[in-house]
Amino acid sequence: MDKFQGRFEKLREGFRYSYQKVKGSSHTWVSQVKDRWLVFWRIFSHLELRNIIVYVSGLMLFRFGLDVFNWSIITLALDRFGSAQFEKLGALTALNLVMQCVGAVLIVFSYFYLSGIVLMRKSPMAHSNCTHVVLAIVVFSFAFMTTPLLVIDRASGGSIQSASASFPDYGDYSPNVLFPIFMTTGIYSSK
């Protein structure tokens, strides 16, 4: 706690200094924002800045892959569902949104549990698991969760669409398999 308290004090002093520096001059608000961001970045070491940039980049790529996967499931559902495609797609999307709510509740609960707020003491899990370990666990669990759809499609006779084919060649599985897969991606899609 002392390490972070010292950083916050440095940050507070830097904001005070940048405000006093700009207060009496004719600087624009752009220079004020620039001064405050410089103060913010100076409290981190070069290694910590590199780790922040790598972590944020990894989260952005994960989020991009997740959104592409979710839209591909919607496209697959529109192709696979028969006469009641819009009713089933509505139910599929609604269940995904419900699972996003469940995922948000899980995130809040895990934050309070890991930070020790619920237990009113320091949690050993918050100190033993680094952020890169948590990110790796989430990415690998998402990969293991999306693999069954590919395996089911290939095992039931589906194949990759060739350049000359006008329609994809799906397997003979029931399109209702998309429901549990899309519901579990909803947990990962919570914002």
Lowest mean pLDDT, pick from 25-34, 39-48, 98-107, 165-174: 25-34
- 1 in the same domain as 56: no
CA gap 142, 168 in Å, rounded: 25
**pLDDT for the residue 54:** 84
59/116 same-domain check: yes
Hey, what are 91's tokens?
């139910």
Residues 22, 90 within the same domain: no
Same domain, 79 and 160: yes
Other beta carbons within 10 angstroms of residue 77's beta carbon come to: 20
Quick one: 10 and 62 in the same domain?
A: no
The answer to whether residues 111 and 179 belong to one domain is yes
**82 CB-contact burial (10 Å; exposed 0-12 / middle 13-18 / buried 19+):** exposed
Q: State the pLDDT at residue 120.
A: 45
- pLDDT on residue 119: 46
Q: Residue 145 burial by CB count (10 A; 0-12/13-18/19+): exposed, middle or buried?
A: middle
Are 57 and 146 part of one and the same domain?
A: yes
Q: Provide the number of structural domains found in the chain.
A: 2
Same domain for 84 and 16, yes or no, is no
Name the residue type at position 16: R
Same-domain status, 50 and 33 = no
Count of other CB atoms within 10 angstroms of residue 164: 5
pLDDT over 50 at 121, yes or no: no
Question: What is the span of the domain harbouring residue 23?
Answer: 1-43
Report the range of poorest mean pLDDT among 13-22, 65-74, 119-128, 155-164. 119-128
Q: So what's the pLDDT on residue 95? A: 94
Model pLDDT for residues 84-118, shown as the tens digit of each residue? 889 999 999 999 999 989 888 887 777 666 555 54
CA 155 to chain centroid, in Å, comes to 30
Q: 21 with 107, same domain?
A: no
pLDDT value of residue 122 = 47
